[in-house]
């Protein structure tokens, strides 16, 4: 099969400035989505929502993201990464304080949908830019880029939580975060690419060829991440009888090892190669879930979730790099498809696990992830081949 042409309309080759800008936008995306998390209880109380109504409200964010992700690659191709990222980033910064100002449920649902749509576009297009920058550099960079998303997540959630603890109002906390994000976006502008694919391709096509396999791997890895996010505290408190006040450290352990793994991941990928990173990472993550399930101790649960983070850290970045190397689809459309399939895992998977846990047990539901991660290891060679 002949390679899909990837010559940009702008002949300028990306370099260090573009790499820095890419890291900044990844940081903004992670910071924005995590800054919202500590404010959810305030929004619930202000709008007088019960748990069911809150769940439906939060679904608006996911729906907005998933609806826009398949179209985002086409936007990058038509308008370039720079314009698309600046518009999506600006919308994100406007939505953040609006989340604390929406006067009622319909307005909040609309703001969350726009917030999610902006995040969806930002996530896809910054990955398109990351693929182009990495390809131009000739070395592994994707893990470091995704590591900045994780750092942004820690900064966003930690910064807002600290501001609230010091007595700041929710609006002041999120408003300050939005201002900082806006300034960072302005700083990154000069390093954002004026191109982002080939505009003569359709804005959206169904994933095909190896892109389907890459997307399926991302689905499995995002599903594993979502399972730890949504279920680790429940598992530690209800199955391992940990103190509910400390059960949240399961996700903390996961997030710390994943962040450290990604920040050092480029050197790991360079040394071991994509295949070994995916094979070993999937097996380590599977072993982490197995330890949490099989060893009846809260400390073993913490260690298991830490292993999941360490193993899963670099699999998704390697898959995005693989999406940039495949020839079945244009890069911008492949990245959009892979991102959409991955986020479907983190949005839909935890709910499916909850259904399985209700029919069987939470341990059984998490046990299915062990099987899924072993399957990822089995297809690692095919998913990472050039």
345-362: per-residue pLDDT in tens? 887 777 788 888 889 999
* pLDDT given at position 165: 87
Helix (H, G, I), strand (E, B) or coil at 318: helix
Angle ∠(231,251,128) on CA atoms, nearest 5: 100
d(CA 218, CA 213): 9
What's the pLDDT at 233? 86
Could you write out the DSSP letters of every residue in 122-168? HHHHHHHHHHHHHHHHTS--HHHHHHHHHHHHHHHHHHHHHHHHTT-
pLDDT score of 281: 98
Cβ atoms of 230 and 349 within 8 Å: the answer is no
CATH: 3.30.420.40, 1.20.120.1200, 1.20.1250.20, 3.40.50.261. Which one for 16-191?
A: 1.20.1250.20
Residue 328: pLDDT band with limits 50, 70, 90: confident
Instruction: Kindly report, residue by residue over 66-122, the tens digit of the pLDDT.
Output: 899 999 988 998 999 999 999 999 999 999 999 999 999 999 999 999 999 999 999
Contact 183, 169 (CB under 8 A): no
Over residues 328-338, mean pLDDT: 90
Q: Start-end ranges of CATH 1.20.1250.20 in the chain? A: 16-191, 210-384
pLDDT (mean) for 366-372: 96
- What global pTM score does this model have? 0.86
The H-or-E segment that residue 246 falls in is none
- Using one digit for the tens of pLDDT, what is the confidence trace for 2-50? 333 343 444 456 788 999 999 999 999 999 988 888 888 888 888 888 8
Question: Given this model, what pLDDT does residue 145 score?
Answer: 95
Contact 311, 281 (CB under 8 A): yes
Q: Which residues contact 180 (CB under 8 A, 6 or more apart)?
A: 31
Model confidence over 211-258: pLDDT tens digits?
999 999 999 999 999 888 888 888 998 899 988 777 878 888 999 999
Q: Please report the pLDDT score of residue 213 as a whole number.
A: 96
Phi and psi torsions of 202, nearest 5° = -65, 155
210-384 maps to CATH 1.20.1250.20: yes
């Amino acid at each position: 099969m002949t390679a899909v042409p990837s010559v940009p309309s702008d002949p300028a080759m990306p370099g260090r400035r573009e790499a820095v800008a890419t890291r900044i936008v990844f940081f903004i995306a992670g910071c924005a989505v995590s800054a919202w998390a500590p404010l959810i209880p305030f929004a619930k109380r202000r709008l007088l929502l019960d748990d069911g109504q809150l769940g439906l409200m939060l679904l608006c964010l996911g729906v907005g993201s998933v609806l826009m992700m398949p179209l985002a690659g086409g936007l990058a191709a038509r308008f370039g990464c720079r314009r698309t990222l600046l518009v999506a980033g600006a919308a994100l910064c406007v939505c953040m304080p609006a989340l604390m100002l929406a006067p009622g449920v319909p307005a909040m649902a609309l703001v969350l949908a726009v917030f999610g749509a902006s995040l969806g576009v930002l996530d896809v297009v910054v990955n398109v830019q990351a693929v182009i920058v990495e390809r131009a550099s000739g070395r592994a960079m994707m893990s470091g880029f995704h590591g900045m998303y994780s750092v942004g997540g820690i900064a966003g959630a930690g910064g807002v939580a600290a501001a609230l603890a010091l007595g700041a109002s929710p609006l002041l906390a999120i408003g300050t975060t939005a201002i900082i994000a806006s300034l960072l976006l302005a700083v990154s502008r000069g390093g954002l690419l004026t191109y982002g694919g080939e505009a003569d391709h359709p804005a959206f096509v169904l994933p095909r060829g190896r892109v389907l396999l890459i997307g399926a791997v991302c689905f499995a890895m995002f599903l594993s991440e979502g399972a730890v996010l949504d279920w680790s505290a429940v598992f530690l408190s209800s199955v391992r009888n940990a103190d509910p006040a400390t059960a949240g450290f399961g996700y903390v352990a996961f997030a710390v090892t994943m962040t450290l793994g990604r920040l050092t991941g480029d050197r790991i990928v360079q040394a071991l190669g994509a295949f070994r990173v995916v094979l070993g990472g999937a097996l380590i993550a599977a072993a982490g879930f197995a330890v949490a399930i099989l060893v009846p101790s809260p400390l073993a649960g913490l260690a298991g979730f830490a292993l999941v983070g360490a193993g899963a850290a670099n699999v998704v970045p390697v898959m995005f790099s693989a999406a940039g190397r495949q020839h079945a689809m244009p890069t911008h459309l492949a990245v959009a498809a892979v991102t959409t399939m991955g986020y479907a895992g983190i949005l839909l998977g935890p709910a499916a696990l909850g259904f399985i846990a209700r029919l069987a047990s939470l341990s059984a539901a998490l046990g299915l992830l062990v099987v899924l991660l072993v399957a990822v290891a089995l297809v690692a060679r095919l998913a990472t081949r050039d």
